[in-house]
């Protein structure tokens, strides 16, 4: 069954990119601006105030150029006499971050105009569509925390593994202070770079801390696809190798090297999509190690799950479940066997059983990073306050 | 004149990629292996034991595909029936790291098989050719330092700027310990990511520290093209904006946030190519702030330079000058007005004047990262020992 779950998360991820509404013929305003994720000096891709995206690619002898963003078919570009291929999405694109790539004469290439982001087990082109609430993840003139790349030894996988550690702005100065820790997982096909690069988690935290809306804490992000499965091999995914890395190797390393409060009450875990499934599996097996659980766009915890763990209600201070409003139909259709059931019902059931469960729905977003940036923000504000 | 200098460094960088020897017809062994810089699961590009590089690109409807690595013309790929374009460099490629890109039907794209590295003011494809001495920059089972991304405020440029900070392995544990600092600059068209991604500076340091060959110190790397010049606008480059960021803003930030020894005796600066020119300019104007000077593949300091600074000999504990054996002819040809003169003569002159000057020549490398990895290693072993 678990095999099917991971295949479905891969499908969800791919389907989410095709899920924008079909074309209409509304007037497209000529106020296009370069995406903030463009490479230095690159004018394209661009986004307008209506969230249409325009591409411009130089390939004078190409036979066909397509961008995979925009509608269910992507956006076919048309050649111009100066050697550029140009095109605009048929519809507005959701607010927030999107992956895409080009198909040039049948081959998969990235848009040379943009920065790349690791998703779908490859470095993909990325674009940012300004969101009405983008201030919460903007780079502002506030004190900034650090993002630390660590290389930690893993005996169980016989490797040296990488993780990124967010340290809040006052970490360096307050040597007597110790901090709670959130372990935060990416989705299928992504890696430990995703929450900083695509999720802007450090900027979200810097802004929340500057506004006094969260208790400062450390965030640890490492690679969750421990057996390095390819897209066709997801059925081989097994949680145990990653659980061992995280619980037996990474947590002790973090507690040794950083100023943590190294107990269950001050440790949380969360993840998006496949990462939510990993979070559910690992936290339910380790209620003595984690107090707070965040499940974004995927798993939820049912009363049935809880009934198997006698001290769940005592140990777990929060079950936070979220999704984008545009993806709830899928999640419900997937049903109990895949995600643990309808997240709305599960959260209600947990609440009625006296468990602190919270449901958050990101408006007008699908299985994509704006859902997860918002989820992280909402979740962070609830953490470590008991 | 300074305008010409920076234009020349850009030229050097581009020329260095065309400088491999022309084709011969020696037998090419069939022991190709994927480059260690390939994206997860990608089999191509590959390198064989003779340092030939083989490319394989899927683009079934393309008219022409070329890789810019290999010989003065790059490597033209030829189509096969399965939709792939394949080709092998006409000659062996130098040991170490190389940038390249593809030209697909006249357009510039990256090889979807490899990771990208920022160079030439764009994210380029990268490949690693195993070097006979690669152990010194290999990822090994030794204690690893951390690489910290910081965001620091810069009033002079009205921006929040990024830097990376290498902290030695024992930094977290030894709170009473304080460390010297090296400020380390990238070359033209690169950025603050270059020394870690292309240079593997953290691994070089981890290995040297594990072997007891260096005194542990902090390394700070930030963006040195402060006015964001494009390739056609190098003539607008001016050192003052960057000098202000580095000396007046970054150094105070580092000394405030990290456990540094915040004095001239424990501060060094080095850089590669354009970064060596920046290092020369900034250190000669600030001998009260830096004790150690590292100039890799570019500038050197002449007796004439020194004669203008009365306390140079007292203040400066080391002038380290290096280059790759394959690029010395250029450097000499460029002459005094561009690089400060023949580095060999300059180092001899400084030595004869009683200044601690060291010349290092990287064998069989050109204007490329293996020269700079080796230079950094040699330089590091001489630092902060007085």
pLDDT in tens, B114-137: 999 999 899 999 999 999 999 999
Beta strand B318-324 with B292-296 is parallel
Which of B129, B148, B176 is at the close of a domain?
B129
| Residue A352 lies inside a defined structural domain of this protein | yes
Q: How many CB pairs under 8 A join A and B?
A: 131
Q: Of all helices (H) and strands (E), which one includes residue B269?
A: strand B267-272
| Residue A5 lies inside a defined structural domain of this protein | no
Among A102, A106, A121, the residue with its CB nearest the CB of B83 is A106
- The three-state secondary structure class of B35 is coil
Residue B309 carries which DSSP code?
-
**Is the CB of residue A377 less than 8 Å from the CB of residue A204?**
yes
For residue B240, report the phi and psi dihedrals to the nearest 5 degrees: -60, -45
Which of A129, A152, A179 is at the close of a domain?
A129
Residues of B in contact with A58 (CB under 8 A): 106-108
Structure tokens at B50: 């003779």
> B377: how many CB neighbours lie within 10 A of its CB?
21
Chain A residue whose CA is closest to B148 = A148
**Alpha carbon of A173: minimum distance to chain B alpha carbons (Å):** 7
Instruction: Check if B143 contacts A (Cβ < 8 Å).
Output: no
Q: Which residues in chain B (60-119) have CB-CB distances under 8 A to chain A?
A: 60-64, 83, 102, 104-110, 112, 115-116
> Of A259, A250, A266, A264, whose CA–CA distance to A192 is shortest?
A250
**Which residue of A64, A151, A218, A250 is the best one to mutate when testing the B interface, meaning the one whose CB has the most B CBs within 10 A?**
A151
**Is the CB of residue A233 less than 8 Å from the CB of residue A175?**
no
Instruction: Check if B354 contacts A (Cβ < 8 Å).
Output: no
Chain A residue whose CA is closest to B146 = A150
Q: A53: which strand partners?
A: A47
Per-residue pLDDT at B219 exceeds 80? yes
Instruction: Check if B149 contacts A (Cβ < 8 Å).
Output: yes
pLDDT computed for residue A19 by the predictor: 45
Residue B41 carries which DSSP code?
T
Q: Which residues in chain A (206-235) have CB-CB distances under 8 A to chain B?
A: 228, 230
Per-residue confidence of chain A (386 residues) as pLDDT tens digits? Answer: 455 555 556 555 555 544 444 444 458 999 999 999 999 999 999 999 999 999 999 999 999 999 999 988 999 999 999 999 999 999 999 999 999 999 999 999 999 999 999 998 999 999 999 999 999 999 999 999 999 999 999 999 999 999 999 999 999 887 789 999 999 999 999 999 999 999 999 999 999 999 999 999 999 999 997 655 554 554 566 889 999 999 999 999 999 999 999 999 999 999 999 999 999 999 999 999 999 999 999 999 999 999 999 999 999 999 999 999 999 988 888 777 668 889 999 999 999 999 999 999 999 999 999 999 999 999 999 999 86
| Residue B11 lies inside a defined structural domain of this protein | no
Give the CATH number of the domain where residue A75 resides: 2.60.40.10
**Which residue of A107, A122, A149 is the best one to mutate when testing the B interface, meaning the one whose CB has the most B CBs within 10 A?**
A107
For residue A117, report the phi and psi dihedrals to the nearest 5 degrees: -140, 140
pLDDT in tens, B272-289: 999 999 999 999 999 999
Residues of A in contact with B40 (CB under 8 A): 121-122, 228
**Which residue of B151, B207, B232 is the best one to mutate when testing the A interface, meaning the one whose CB has the most A CBs within 10 A?**
B151
Q: Are residues B75 and B159 in the same domain?
A: no
CA–CA separation, B202 vs B146, rounded Å?
A: 8
> B77: how many CB neighbours lie within 10 A of its CB?
24
Computed over its alpha carbons, how large is the radius of gyration of chain A? 21
Least confident of A53-67, B3-17, B248-262: B3-17
CA–CA separation, B226 vs B218, rounded Å?
A: 22
Q: Are residues B173 and B237 in the same domain?
A: yes
Q: Are residues A312 and A293 in the same domain?
A: yes
> A211: how many CB neighbours lie within 10 A of its CB?
10
Half-sphere exposure of B181 (CA within 13 A, CB side): 26
Instruction: Check if B258 contacts A (Cβ < 8 Å).
Output: yes
**Which residue of A109, A137, A224 is the best one to mutate when testing the B interface, meaning the one whose CB has the most B CBs within 10 A?**
A109
**Is the CB of residue A79 less than 8 Å from the CB of residue A38?**
no
Structure tokens at A94: 């959701």
Q: Are residues B238 and B150 in the same domain?
A: yes
pLDDT computed for residue B285 by the predictor: 96
Q: Are residues B204 and B311 in the same domain?
A: yes
- The three-state secondary structure class of B83 is coil
Beta strand B122-129 with B116-119 is antiparallel
Q: What angle, rounded to 10 degrees, do the helices at B201-210 and B369-380 form?
A: 40
Among A123, A160, A258, the residue with its CB nearest the CB of B115 is A123
> Of B271, B297, B172, whose CA–CA distance to B219 is shortest?
B271
**Alpha carbon of A130: minimum distance to chain B alpha carbons (Å):** 20
Q: What angle, rounded to 10 degrees, do the helices at A201-210 and A369-380 form?
A: 40
pLDDT computed for residue B235 by the predictor: 53
Residues of B in contact with A110 (CB under 8 A): 109-110, 112
CA–CA separation, B167 vs B184, rounded Å?
A: 14
Residue B228 carries which DSSP code?
-
Chain B residue whose CA is closest to A144 = B151
- The three-state secondary structure class of B98 is strand
pLDDT computed for residue B23 by the predictor: 47
Structure tokens at A261: 């409060």
**Alpha carbon of B158: minimum distance to chain A alpha carbons (Å):** 10
| Residue A119 lies inside a defined structural domain of this protein | yes
CA–CA separation, B130 vs B216, rounded Å?
A: 27
Beta strand B107-109 with B65-67 is unpaired
Q: Flag if B112 and A112 touch (Cβ within 8 Å).
A: no
Chain A residue whose CA is closest to B254 = A172
**Alpha carbon of A25: minimum distance to chain B alpha carbons (Å):** 31
Which of B129, B152, B184 is at the close of a domain?
B129
Q: Are residues B205 and B312 in the same domain?
A: yes
**Is the CB of residue B347 less than 8 Å from the CB of residue B178?**
no
Beta strand B159-167 with B146-154 is antiparallel
Per-residue pLDDT at B93 exceeds 60? yes
Give the CATH number of the domain where residue A298 resides: 3.40.50.1820
Structure tokens at B381: 């072993």
Mean pLDDT confidence for B266-270: 98
**Alpha carbon of A70: minimum distance to chain B alpha carbons (Å):** 21
pLDDT computed for residue B112 by the predictor: 98
| Residue B300 lies inside a defined structural domain of this protein | yes
Torsion sign, CA atoms A304, A305, A311, A315: negative
Q: Are residues B196 and B270 in the same domain?
A: yes
Residues of B in contact with A146 (CB under 8 A): 148-150
| Residue A4 lies inside a defined structural domain of this protein | no
Instruction: Check if B176 contacts A (Cβ < 8 Å).
Output: no
CA–CA separation, A75 vs B45, rounded Å?
A: 29
Q: Are residues A220 and A257 in the same domain?
A: yes
Place of tokens 């006409």: B90
Q: What is the 3-state secondary structure (H, E, C) of chain A?
A: CHHHHHHHHHHHHHHHHCCCCCCCCCCCCCCCEECCCECCCCCCCEECCCCCEEEEEECCCCCCEEECCCCCCCEECEECCCCEEEEECCCCCCCEEEEECEEECCEEECCCCECEEEECCEEEEEEEECCCCHHHHCCCCCCCCEEEEEEEEECCCCEEEEEEEEECCCCCCCCCCCECEEEEECCCCCCCCHHHHCCCHHHHHHHHHHCCCCCCCEEEEECCCCCCCCHHHHHHCCHHHHHHHHHHHHHHHHHHHCCECCCHHHEEEEEECHHHHHHHHHHHCCCCCCCEEEEECCCCCCHHHHHCCCCHHHHCCEEEEEEEHHHHHHHHHHCHHHHCCCHHHHHHHHHHCCCCEEEEEECCCCCCHHHHHHHHHHHHCCCCCC
Q: Are residues B186 and B121 in the same domain?
A: no
pLDDT in tens, B302-353: 999 999 999 999 999 999 999 999 999 888 887 776 688 899 999 999 999 9
Beta strand A318-324 with A357-362 is parallel
**Alpha carbon of A142: minimum distance to chain B alpha carbons (Å):** 9
| Residue A10 lies inside a defined structural domain of this protein | no
Q: B97: which strand partners?
A: B128
Instruction: Check if A288 contacts B (Cβ < 8 Å).
Output: no
For residue A11, report the phi and psi dihedrals to the nearest 5 degrees: -65, -45
**Which residue of A67, A83, A105, A227 is the best one to mutate when testing the B interface, meaning the one whose CB has the most B CBs within 10 A?**
A105
Count of structural domains, chain B: 2
Domain hosting residue B245, numbered range: 136-380
Q: Are residues A293 and A150 in the same domain?
A: yes
Which residues are CB-neighbours of B37 under 8 A, at least 6 positions away? B97, B114, B115, B126, B127, B128
Per-residue burial over A198-208, b = 16 or more CB atoms within 10 Å of its CB, e = otherwise = bbbbbbbbbbb
Q: Flag if A62 and B106 touch (Cβ within 8 Å).
A: yes
Burial class (CB in 10 A: 0-12, 13-18, 19+), A155: exposed
Residues of A in contact with B63 (CB under 8 A): 61-63, 105
> B182: how many CB neighbours lie within 10 A of its CB?
26
Per-residue pLDDT at B196 exceeds 90? yes
Per-residue burial over A92-112, b = 16 or more CB atoms within 10 Å of its CB, e = otherwise = bbbbbbbbbbbbbbebbbbbb
| Residue B341 lies inside a defined structural domain of this protein | yes
pLDDT computed for residue B333 by the predictor: 83
Among B105, B175, B257, the residue with its CB nearest the CB of A62 is B105
> B211: how many CB neighbours lie within 10 A of its CB?
10
CA–CA separation, B190 vs A40, rounded Å?
A: 11
Question: What would the DSSP string read from start to end of B336-356?
Answer: HHHHSS-HHHHHHHHHHTT--
Mean pLDDT confidence for B3-17: 55
Among B146, B173, B228, the residue with its CB nearest the CB of A149 is B146
Among A59, A149, A160, the residue with its CB nearest the CB of B104 is A59
Q: Are residues B120 and B148 in the same domain?
A: no
Q: What angle, rounded to 10 degrees, do the helices at B2-17 and B274-285 form?
A: 150
Q: Are residues A59 and A153 in the same domain?
A: no
Residue B38 carries which DSSP code?
B
Which residues are CB-neighbours of B104 under 8 A, at least 6 positions away? A59, A62, A104, A105, A107, A109, B57, B59, B62, B64, B65
**Is the CB of residue B119 less than 8 Å from the CB of residue B27?**
no
């Amino acid at each position: 069954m678990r095999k099917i779950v991971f295949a479905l998360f891969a499908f969800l991820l791919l389907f989410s990119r095709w899920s924008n509404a079909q074309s209409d013929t509304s007037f497209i305003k000529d106020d296009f601006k370069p995406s903030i994720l463009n490479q230095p000096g690159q004018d394209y891709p661009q986004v307008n105030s209506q969230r249409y995206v325009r591409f411009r690619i130089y390939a004078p002898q190409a036979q066909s150029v397509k961008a995979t963003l925009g509608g269910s078919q992507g956006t076919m570009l048309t050649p111009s006499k100066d050697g550029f291929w140009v095109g605009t999405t048929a519809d507005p694109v959701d607010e927030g971050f999107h992956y895409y790539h080009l198909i040039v004469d049948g081959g998969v290439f990235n848009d040379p105009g943009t920065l790349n982001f690791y998703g779908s087990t490859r470095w993909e082109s990325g674009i940012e569509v300004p969101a009405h609430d983008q201030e919460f993840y903007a780079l502002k003139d506030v004190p900034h925390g650090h993002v630390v790349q660590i290389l930690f030894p893993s005996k169980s996988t016989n490797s040296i593994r990488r993780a990124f550690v967010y340290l809040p702005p006052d970490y360096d100065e307050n040597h007597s202070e110790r901090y709670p820790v959130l372990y935060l997982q990416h989705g299928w096909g992504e890696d430990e770079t995703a929450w900083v690069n695509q999720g802007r988690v450090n900027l979200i935290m810097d802004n929340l801390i500057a506004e006094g809306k969260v208790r400062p804490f450390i965030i640890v992000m490492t690679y969750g696809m421990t057996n390095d499965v390819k897209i066709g091999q997801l059925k081989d995914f097994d949680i145990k190798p990653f659980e061992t890395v995280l619980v037996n190797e990474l947590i002790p390393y973090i507690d040794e090297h950083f100023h943590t409060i190294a107990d269950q009450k001050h440790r949380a875990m969360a993840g998006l999509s496949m990462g939510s499934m990993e979070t559910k599996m690992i936290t339910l097996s380790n209620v003595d190690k984690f107090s707070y659980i965040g499940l974004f766009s995927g798993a939820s915890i049912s009363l049935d799950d809880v009934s198997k763990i006698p001290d769940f209600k005592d140990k777990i201070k929060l079950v936070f479940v979220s999704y984008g409003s545009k993806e709830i139909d899928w999640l419900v259709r997937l049903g109990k066997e895949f995600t643990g059931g309808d997240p709305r019902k599960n959260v209600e059931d947990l609440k009625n059983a006296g468990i602190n469960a919270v449901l958050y729905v990101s408006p007008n977003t699908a299985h994509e990073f704006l859902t997860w940036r918002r989820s992280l923000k909402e979740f962070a504000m609830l953490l470590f306050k008991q």
